Amino acid sequence: MAEQTSDWAATDDSALKHAGDPAPQENPPPAATRSPRKAEDTSEGCHAMAANDRERASENVNERMKAVFERSASAWSTRGEMFKRLEAQRESRNDG
């Protein structure tokens, strides 16, 4: 009878690497490219959504829904102000 060898015995050194090690990337993505921001991630977009919610609140006759839209508008406005401050900080770092 012919002697049988198992497949695992015929491995080379490269097969013995850890399975959890990440494979090297040949073409890493460029670091400077950025995807466009969503409207809710900019001060202008947040202020536009706040204006939209204020308009919807003024058109709504249901007092409960009017209050919901007014709270939403306030939250969007606060978020927009936060982004405005962050954008100003980023610009001042780039200028200085």
For the stretch 2-25, pLDDT in tens is: 555 555 554 555 555 555 556 656
Specify the DSSP class assigned to residue 2.
P
User: Which of these, 42, 41, 62, 65, lies nearest to 53 by C-alpha position?
Assistant: 65
58 Cβ contact partners less than 8 Å away, ≥ 6 residues apart: 66
Tell me the whole-structure pTM to 2 decimals.
0.59
Domain limits of the chain?
A: 38-96
- Percent of the chain with pLDDT strictly greater than 90: 47
Tokens of residue 69, six digits: 């839209």
Specify the DSSP class assigned to residue 41.
G
Residues, the chain: 96
